[in-house]
Structure 1
Amino acid sequence: MNKWSYKSSLLGLLALTTSLGSVAYAGEPPLPTDPVVTRSLESQDALPRTAFYSTPSDIATALPGALLKHESAANYDLPKGFTATRILYRSTDSHGQPVATSGVVVVPPGKAPEGGWPVIVWAHGTSGTAEMCAPSLMKDVYYGSLRVFDLASAGFVLVMTDYHGLGTDGPHQYMNKYAQVADIRNAVPAAHALMPELSQKWFVVGHSQGAYAALATAEAETKANDAGYLGAVSIAPAARPGMMNANISAVKKAGGPYMSWLAFAIKAQYPEFKPEDLLSKKGLKFYPEATGGACWLTGNALYYPYSAKELVRPDWNKNKYVKQFFAEQTVGYEKTLGPILLVAGGGDTTIPIRTLNSYYKDACHLGSDIKYLVVPNAEHGAAMVESMDTQISWLKSVLAGNTPASSCPKN
């Protein structure tokens, strides 16, 4: 359960509409800050992790994108008539090693259009770093309350990747563009192996961590040049992780679990890195549970009393592994392939709009094709909800062969 689905449940709402976007940033109920309460809430939304998620012993012989397992899943809270199938497929981590990645393929009701259902690979936002934090292990698939199934209702099959290490054997390589791009791109052939009748045409759509991964996928496609790839929708991406954290000493609000997850991510990329070189004693206090035994809501509750500044060492951003991670994981310094719809929340305090403005300026300068939409006053989750109709219109237009208008200034 993420913070937005918690809020909508608390309000007694069964589904989000565009009007609920205002609830996500104005007059919203407070998040629970008692870990006992949040553990209970996450448990209520959780599905059991079964042997399905175990990595096959012969994974090294499978090709990237190979479908390893699949099973029908009837325990998700889906719109009427939708069907879901869990998949396990072969992907690659950032070190080039074979890994198993899980996900869910969601199919809307009705007859497929001529040429087959077009595909959207859905890339979710931060859920946590523990195995239990896979969206496929949540009844609402983590984003059910944020209108994600509207994308399928619009005539697309959703291929919802968990990212490896969530659900499957870890570690999850959090905010690692190389790992997440591999999981996104390998989900496409896996879905076709499950449903050969799918169209070859596909998009990537993501929010937050997943929006960052969507931009990285668009960059990777300049080399991969997949003929079926049509473009990306990126909502509130963490495009400049270094920029977001550079002025952390000025952050006065609760720091949340992000610095623990950052330490976990750097450790997953560089095994010789020590989390204690980034985190303070207060930051390390809940590190084991936040990274291995809790998801977003509980992670936030654990660290709620502390400001971001309190959770890190004074010299944390001078560490060579931290600096290297930020340098390697930033997007916007390579040209992208295909059009991009970039969405920012005008009131987003999680991903400050200045970081998206920086990405947009650099990407436009490189010749990327970007339509930039700022949703006035919208917080992080509301940017997803309130832009949904625009997202769908943009996707359908590109699918129809139209060239969307770019916001980039003409040189």
Structure 2
Amino acid sequence: MTRRSVISLVSAALLATGPLAGTALADPPANTESADPGTVIGNEALPQSMWIDGAGSARKLTYWTRDSSDRPALSTGVVFTPAGTPPPGGWPVLSWEHGTVGVGDDCAPSVAGRSDRDMGFLATWMKQGYAIVATDYIGLGTPGIHAYLDGRAEAHAAIDMVRAAHAVDDALASKWVAIGQSQGGGAAVFTASLATRYAPELDYRGAVATGPASNIVDAATLIGPNTPAIPSSHITAYATYVFNGLKAARPDFDLDSYLTPLGKQAVADAQTLCFQPLADRLNGISLNQLVSRPLSEGDFVSVARTVMDVPLTGYDRPLFLGQGTNDTDVPAPLTAKLVADMTAAGTHPEVHVYPGKDHSGAMLASLADSVPFVARLFA
């Protein structure tokens, strides 16, 4: 394999990325096994400076969900409802699954805020008359390290955010759609594969995923001490989040056996530093300097597949996949492989390709197709 192809694959996978009274955070149940998914234990007003344009209210919730091993875990998220009077039956709901921000508590969108790109994107949906519920994911603002790219855990948090929102706002309709970008795009695909089974009482209609993270483990098999140096602090930063996510999802996994002393320090730094500060700190450090042996050795691949491999079956509602041809975060060949694998397994997503668009550009360009797609789902 050429140096160019190694860089391309590694780069691709590792960058894939109502008015209520405020309540204090309740004491968690002594027996967390009895903490039903979607149970709200905290409800507070979100500062108006963090509201999506067009919102009439915004509440930050802390709620119970389940990790990928089906153990109780806490997540936070925000319920945004449009200004004005809800339609008959209530506001239809979009569950937003965000892209990479980091794994530390200070990186949670409900704490740090959202990028201008995401705020503009979400405002488009808000102005269509949809309520938006936006999970932070487990570990972003709650105990523990966020299990980055742990698809089932992210999907559970997104679905249980819908449950939690219904628990505090009776102006919401039961019908809902999942939408995600990059890390959240992969999470939205996971969500689509299990939504009706995990929460049969909700009226799940379908999902939209743009630039969805996929094929992470396949790319990881190319990484080792002798991998050609990749001069991108962004790639190195994303790799440290992947390592942290795997360790958070599977605590018994011996991650340290794969890391150099520099790698161990970088992974530790990633637990608290959000993306850009982490990338700045890792400037000049290449991915191959983090690992002491190839990730293809030992049980890295077998363990990581149980956490990060996107399901190929289980989709019982429409699924929209959007991809830019000039995306360097999640290049088109990776999404093409995902689509081909899904098709071979009998799953047929609706695929939209955006010529000349990069990662963010495809997300925004997709609105021309995804807005009518979602409208049809709610019809």
- Shorter-chain-normalised TM-score: which range? 0.7 to 0.9
Contact kept in structure 1, 2:313 and 2:342, CA below 8 Å: yes
Structure 2 length-normalised TM: 0.85
Structure 1 match to 2:92: 118
Hey, what's the Cα distance between the residues in 2 that align with 1:115 and 1:185?
Answer: 20
C-alpha separation between the residues in 2 aligned to 1:81 and 1:222? 28
Tell whether 2:28 aligns with 1:56.
yes
Partner of 1:252: 230
Q: Displacement of 1:245 after TM fit?
A: 2.8
**Superposed CA offset, 1:321-356 (max 9, x none):** 343212543114323120011011211111121111
Q: Would the aligned equivalents of 1:120 and 1:205 in 2 still touch at CA under 8 Å?
A: yes
Shift, 1:212, TM fit: 0.8
Letter in 2 for 1:188: V
Q: Show the 5 A alignment for 1:298-309.
A: 298-309=277-288
Q: Which moved further from structure 2: 79-88 or 149-158?
A: 79-88
**Partner of residue 181, structure 2:** 207
> 1:242·1:330 contact (CA, 8 Å) conserved in 2?
yes
The CA distance in 2 between the partners of 1:77 and 1:125, in whole Å, is 17
After the TM superposition, which of the residue ranges 156-165 and 249-258 deviates more from structure 2?
Answer: 249-258
- In structure 2, relative to structure 1, the CA distance for the partners of 1:298 and 1:53 (3 Å cut) is farther
Partner of 1:391: 370
**CA-to-partner distance for each residue in 1:3-60, whole Å, 9 max, x for gaps?**
xxxxxxxxxxxxxxxxxxxxxxxxxxxxxxxxxxxxxxxxxxxxxxxx9678725472
User: SS of the counterpart of 1:201?
Assistant: strand
Q: 1:111 to 1:75 in 2, by over 3 A?
A: closer
1:368 corresponds to 2:342:
no
Stretch of structure 1 that moved more, 318-327 or 375-384: 318-327
For structure 1, the residue ranges without an aligned partner over 5 or more in a row are 1-50, 401-411
Alignment of 1:275-354 (within 5 A): 275-291=255-271, 293-354=272-333
1:4 match: none
Q: Which residue of 2 aligns with 1:238?
A: 213
How much does 1:193 deviate?
0.8
- Equivalent in the alignment of 2:253: 273
Residue 263 of structure 1 aligns with which residue? 243
Deviation at 1:250, TM superposition (A): 5.4
The aligned residue for residue 67 of structure 1 is 40
- Partner Cα separation in structure 1 for residue 114 and residue 242 of structure 2: 26
SS at match of 1:170: coil
Contact 1:75–1:139 (CA under 8 A) maintained in structure 2: no
Are 2:26 and 2:41, in contact at CA under 8 Å, matched by a contact in 1? Answer: no
Q: Give the match's secondary structure for 1:230.
A: strand
> Is the Cα contact below 8 Å between 1:54 and 1:169 reproduced in 2?
no
TM-score, with normalisation over the residues of structure 1? 0.78
> Secondary structure in 1 aligned to 2:303?
helix
CA distance in 1, matches of 2:369, 2:111: 29
SS in 1 for 2:349: strand
Q: What's the CA shift for 1:368?
A: 2.3
> Residue in 1 aligned with 2:6?
none
**1:168 has 2:142 as partner:** yes
- Relative to structure 1, the CA distance from residue 393 to residue 194 in structure 2 (aligned partners, 3 Å threshold; closer, same or farther) is same
Q: How does 1:16-165 map onto structure 2 within 5 Å?
A: 56-58=28-30, 60=32, 61-78=34-51, 79=53, 81-140=55-114, 144-165=118-139
SS in 1 for 2:243: helix
- Between Structure 1 and Structure 2, how many residues are aligned? 349
Q: Could you tell me the percent identity over the aligned residues? A: 28
Structure 1 residue 104: Cα displacement: 0.4
C-alpha deviation, 1:261, in angstroms: 1.4
Residue 276 (structure 1) shift: 2.7
**CA–CA distance in structure 2, aligned partners of residues 286 and 329 of structure 1:** 21
Alpha carbons of 1:355 and 1:284: their partners in 2 closer, same or farther (altered >3 Å)?
same
Give the AA of the match of 2:266. Answer: F
Answer yes or no: is the 8 Å Cα contact 2:180–2:210 preserved in 1: yes
Cα deviation, residue 145, structure 1? 4.3
The alpha-carbon distance between structure 1 residues 378 and 97, as it changes in their structure 2 partners (threshold 3 A), is same
CA shift in 2, pair 1:106/1:218, >3 Å? same
What amino acid maps onto 2:37 in structure 1?
P
Question: What SS class does the counterpart of residue 63 from structure 1 fall into?
Answer: coil
Map of 2:15 onto structure 1:
none
Q: Distance in 2 between matches of 1:329 and 1:316?
A: 15
Name the structure 2 match of 1:193.
167
Q: 1:179 aligns with which of 147, 150, 153?
A: 153
Contact 1:335 1:366 in 2 (8 A): no
Once structures 1 and 2 are overlaid, which stretch shifts more, 325-334 or 150-159?
325-334
Query: How far did residue 77 of structure 1 move?
Result: 3.4
